[in-house]
Structure 1
Amino acid sequence: MQQSRRRFLAVAVGGLLVTPALAGPADAGTAWSRVPQIRRRIRPPRFPRRTFPITSYGAVGDGTTKCTEAFGQAVAACAAAGGGRVVVPAGTYLTGAIHLADNVDLHLEAGATIRFSHEPADYLPAVYTRYEGIELMNYSPFIYAHGRTNVAITGEGVIDGQADATHWWDWTSDPAPTESPDKKLLASMAEQGVPVAERMFGEGHYLRPNLIQLYRCRNVLIEGVTVKDSPMWNIHPVLCANVTIREVTVDSPNGPNNDGCDPESCVDVLIERCEFNTGDDCVAIKAGKNADGRRVNEPSMNVLVDSCTMRDGNGGVTVGSETTGGVRWVFAWNCEMSSPSLERAIRIKTNPERGGYVKDLYFKDITVGQAADAVVEIALNYENKNTGPYFPDVGTIDIRGLRAGKAPKAFNLIGNPGNPIKGVRVADSVFEEMTEADVVTDVTGFELRNVWVNGHRV
């Protein structure tokens, strides 16, 4: 196995090297010097010391009394006073949608659980949101803010979406009414340029809301809490600037599309010391989709992923598949990833309908104990689409100091015919127990330096 693998790499990789060095990844040291500058710009918001316990507004933590009105009153009072902390004491609080306001920190004390209602009507009226990279009017995300400054969700408590096989998740499969017709309708509206205000979904439709979505907000902090069992994506900042997500646990391994944290079209984002156990990608950096992504045309830039742990998931650190507005300057380091159900560690996915660019991605000191597919995957044929009018520009990707234990493949790199992946360097890395040959097609500038696979230097 080892000898045949070495022969494959010599053939597959040999014709793809460029000399003497790659234009972008060769400057990895210069690229990493950006990190301290980005980090200095990312500053969590600060709040006045005023507190507004939700129990002062009628909330009862018995798990059965609906507290939606109490949450709304506490947030309104906090905002009217000039800001502060809306406190959720120990107990279990059933509620519908919670909408945050300027200068409000929603703080869950130890022993507190916010448990969201199963009733879709509790997330109406519809709000301006994004569903898989396309803007629309839909059910409110469970915790939501739009156009706010200085917003936070903090504490030691649990945010429980309560989605399960009979609530929300059942919208993805027969025999119940499913989201598929609505997804096609929304995509068609976006292609035709229907104004967002007229893309009215919500009641009578089946597009699942996110658990936490902060939309066009500035100065965002999510810290300390545990989130679980979202209808789909768990934490979804959209078009935000200055975002800190710190020491958060996402425990949502069973649901469809239960991504952990998906910053989309955001600038200056720090995700640090978080733990992800998800039913889809752990961290997925996005930038809008297809026609609507081209209309909005906002990238994700300056995203830092530091010292996170990834367990179950389709990908550990992922870019895509919604890449239309572009993704650039992503740095991930000191992360640990391992699970029999972690499909890939580093994953980039897009296709010729998305367009946009994905470049200047830098990874170092990543430890992968076990992966179920490829350790590193860059696929420009996502959803098996190899042709289209908007080829994505993907390249300038640098990986160094990666240590992988067990996986079928080290690399699954699939460009488009005539539109290759351009510039991937892997250096000072070890892949210990790989059982299958790599796939490397339509790639230019693939360079391995001091890389060991199955005990052999390649």
Structure 2
Amino acid sequence: MKNKFYGSLLCFSTALMSAIFFNCATQKSTDVLVNPWKVKQQIEKAVVVPTFKNKTYNIIDFGAKSDGIVNNSEAFKKAIETCTKNGGGKVVVPSGKFLTGPIHLDNNVNLHLEEGAEILFSTKSSDYPLVLTSFEGTELMNHSPLIYAYNKKNIAVTGKGVLNGQADNENWWYWCGAKQYGWSEGKGNQNDPQNRIRLVESGEQNVPVEQRIYGEGSYLRPSFVEFFSCTDALIKGVKIINAPFWVIHPMKSTNVTVDGVTVESHGPNNDGCDPEYSKNVIIKNCTFNTGDDCIAIKAGKDGDGRRVAMKSENIIVQDCMMLDGHGGVVMGSEMTGGIKNVFVENCKMDSPNLDRAIRIKSNSRRGGIVENVFVRNIEVGQVKEAVLRINMFYNVYGNQTGNFIPQVKNVILENVKVKNGGKFGVLAKGYKELPIENVLLKNVTIDKVGEAYSIENVTNIQFVDTYINGKKIESPK
């Protein structure tokens, strides 16, 4: 069965056999399907981790006050400006509580939080000016993310301190329009036809991004940490809590490392990390305890995703812990530009509030392709719905049907142990005209699960040395 599976994988386009990823002039041709974990190692070697001059700029020296009351936006701004002007270094946040508006990073700056430091971000939306950003896969001019960098190089957020977005049912979260997050009649929310719906339509109509002006009164929440069109970016060691929206959002960026970060935020759409249109991203040694997906790999939505037409590719997730969340590692639903080469290994997932371990989702309005997903050495304690969930009919915000049928191919799970598998081992539904292709479970053990699998329009799904509820599973004919 193994030979049959890999034989079928190698039958399609020889384009996959060509030079992959980085600098084709110097990198030997490697087929990701033949030796995916060697390719993963090559990606790791290619990722540039920022380094900084041995100079420090303490925000106290620029007038910052640690009383949690005074807004220190100007002190952060001056410290960062001085640091980058002098060739870079470390902007230090000492122990204490520092209130501020958005922080905009610059080249060669490492924003470093010492142990005991907590940055409290303002809950006044008027403190967040318009910048080029993105909301749910559509680009626009909107409130600045809380920490933002645009078109910068060699940047970082590091340390043992806390980034506190101060979002709750009174601030930011109710903008989603859900009563469970504090919304009530008379309050504004993102679902007003002039807000989110208008934004999506502007993407379909190819309205120039600079004309998509939102911000105050539009109720579209900003991301917490967003690296937009950046190169060589790092976020390491910090704890992030109470986010308005997506927590860590590398957007159109290359060489991004997320290392040893703890995310605890249970608000609406509080995904832990959302690489979007990004390449060479490593997420490692992190803990995610979230109100939405722990990690969700994105690539734009609908018409705007087709306009941008960039893949998210070469994404590595390793040595992470996933607790609460809609999914452990997720691809989609905003995946119109496509997702390619995802590697997940040595992770633990366990919570009665974790819905799925590995999830891929799209629909025929989104379209897009997910190809080459490699998962190994995963321990799952408990999930609610499925260990592997592939849903090409994902439906949110009403009718999501169109003429762009999504594709999924080459998904491999190896050495996975699940103690309590929920309803399904594998739950997968594709389109008759474009089925899900090539799914392999090898050395997988799933206990306490309702059904081994439920599949529709899936071609070449193979079970090799896979046991579900103590019974060896044979591959479907």
Instruction: Report the TM-score range of the alignment, normalised by the length of the smaller protein.
Output: over 0.9
Aligned partner of 1:442: which letter?
Answer: N
State which drifts further: 364-373 or 377-386. 377-386
8 Å Cα contact 2:173-2:268 kept in structure 1: yes
- 1:360 alignment partner, SS class: strand
Aligned runs of 1:127-206 on 2, under 5 Å? 127-173=131-177, 174-175=184-185, 176-181=187-192, 182-206=195-219
- The alignment partner of 1:162 has SS state of coil
Cα distance, 1:29 vs. partner? 5.0
Other structure's SS at 1:207 match: coil
Of the three residues 47, 67, 74, the one matched with 2:52 is 47
Quote the offset at 1:437 in angstroms. 5.7
Show the counterpart of 1:339: 351
- How big is the shift at 1:32? 1.7
Is residue 115 of structure 2 the alignment partner of residue 103 of structure 1? no
Residue deviations 1:57-86 (CA, integer Å, cap 9, x gap): 111111111101111111111111111111
1:91 aligns with 2:102: no
Match of 2:289 in 1: 277
Deviations for 1:421-443, whole angstroms, at most 9, x for unmatched residues?
11111111000110246321111
What is the aligned partner in structure 1 of residue 438 from structure 2?
423
Letter in 2 for 1:177: G
Structure 1 residues 89, 386: CA separation in 2 closer, same or farther (over 3 Å shift)? closer
1:444 is aligned to 2:429: no
The one-letter amino acid of 2:202's match is: M
In the TM superposition, residue 284 of structure 1 has moved relative to its aligned partner by 0.7
Deviations 1:194-232 (A, max 9, x none): 100000000121000011101000000100000011111
Q: In structure 2, how many angstroms separate the alpha carbons of the residues matched to 1:383 and 1:18?
A: 35
Question: For 1:313, what is the secondary structure of its paired residue?
Answer: coil
Give distance in 1, aligned partners of 2:240 and 2:45. 27
Q: Which residue of 2 aligns with 1:8?
A: none
Report the AA paired with residue 136 of structure 1.
L
CA distance in 2, matches of 1:329, 1:28: 10
1:403 CA displacement: 0.5
Is the Cα contact below 8 Å between 1:25 and 1:424 reproduced in 2?
no
CA contact (8 A) 1:422 1:443 kept: yes
- Partners of 1:412 and 1:244 lie apart in 2 by 31
Taking a change above 3 Å as real, the CA distance of residues 419 and 387 of structure 1, as seen in their structure-2 partners, is farther
* Segment of structure 1 superposing worse, 28-37 or 356-365: 28-37
Cα shift readout 1:27-47 (whole Å, capped 9, x = no counterpart): 755122101111101121100
Match of 1:31 in 2: 36
**TM-score w.r.t. structure 2 length?**
0.90
2:316 maps to 1:304:
yes
Please tell me whether the aligned partners of residues 364 and 405 of structure 2 are also in contact (alpha carbons under 8 angstroms). yes
For residues 25 and 159 of structure 1, the distance between their equivalents in structure 2, rounded to whole angstroms, comes to 46
- Taking the aligned partners of 2:255 and 2:9, their CA distance within structure 1 comes to 26
Letter in 2 for 1:145: A
Residue 396 (structure 1) aligned with residue 418 (structure 2): no
Deviation at 1:180, TM superposition (A): 1.1
Could you tell me whether the CA contact under 8 Å between 1:290 and 1:355 is conserved in 2?
yes
Per the TM alignment, residue 411 of structure 1 is displaced from its structure 2 partner at its CA by 1.1
Report if aligned partners of 1:172, 1:180 keep a CA contact under 8 Å in 2.
Answer: yes
Q: Tell me, what secondary structure is at the counterpart of 1:94?
A: strand
Q: 2:86 aligns with which of 65, 81, 102?
A: 81
Of 169-178 and 193-202, deviating more is 169-178
- Residue 241 (1) aligns with residue 254 (2): yes
Aligned letter for 2:114?
Answer: E
CA–CA distance in 2 between the matches of 1:134 and 1:386?
16
Aligned equivalents of 2:87, 2:4: Cα separation in 1? 59
Identity among equivalent positions (%) equals 43
SS at match of 1:335: strand
CA-CA distance at 1:24 after TM superposition: 2.8
2:328 is matched with 316
**Change in 2 beyond 3 A, CA 1:62/1:278:** same
The size of the alignment, in residue pairs, is 440
List alignment gaps of at least 5 residues for structure 2.
12-31, 178-183
State the 1:53 CA deviation: 0.6
- Find 1:230's aligned residue among 231, 243, 251: 243
**Structure-1 residue corresponding to 2:424:** 409
Report how far residue 18 of structure 1 moved: 11
| CA-to-aligned-CA distance 1:115-169 (integer Å, 9 cap, x gap) | 1011001101x00001111100000000000000011000000000010011000
Letter in 2 for 1:87: V
RMSD: 1.6
User: Does the 8 Å CA contact 2:138/2:301 hold for their aligned counterparts?
Assistant: yes
Kept in 2, the 8 Å contact 1:59–1:93? The answer is yes
Contact residue 25 and residue 398 of structure 1 kept, 8 A: no
Task: Measure how far apart 1:420 and its partner are.
Answer: 1.3
Contact 2:363/2:392, CA 8 A, preserved across alignment? yes
Q: What is the letter of the counterpart of residue 405 of structure 1?
A: K
Give SS of 1:293's match: helix
* Contact residue 47 and residue 83 of structure 1 kept, 8 A: yes
| Greater RCO (CA < 8 Å, at least 6 residues apart) | 1
SS at match of 1:295: helix
Residues in 2 aligned to 1:24 and 1:160: alpha-carbon distance in whole angstroms:
46
CA distance in 1, matches of 2:203, 2:326: 27
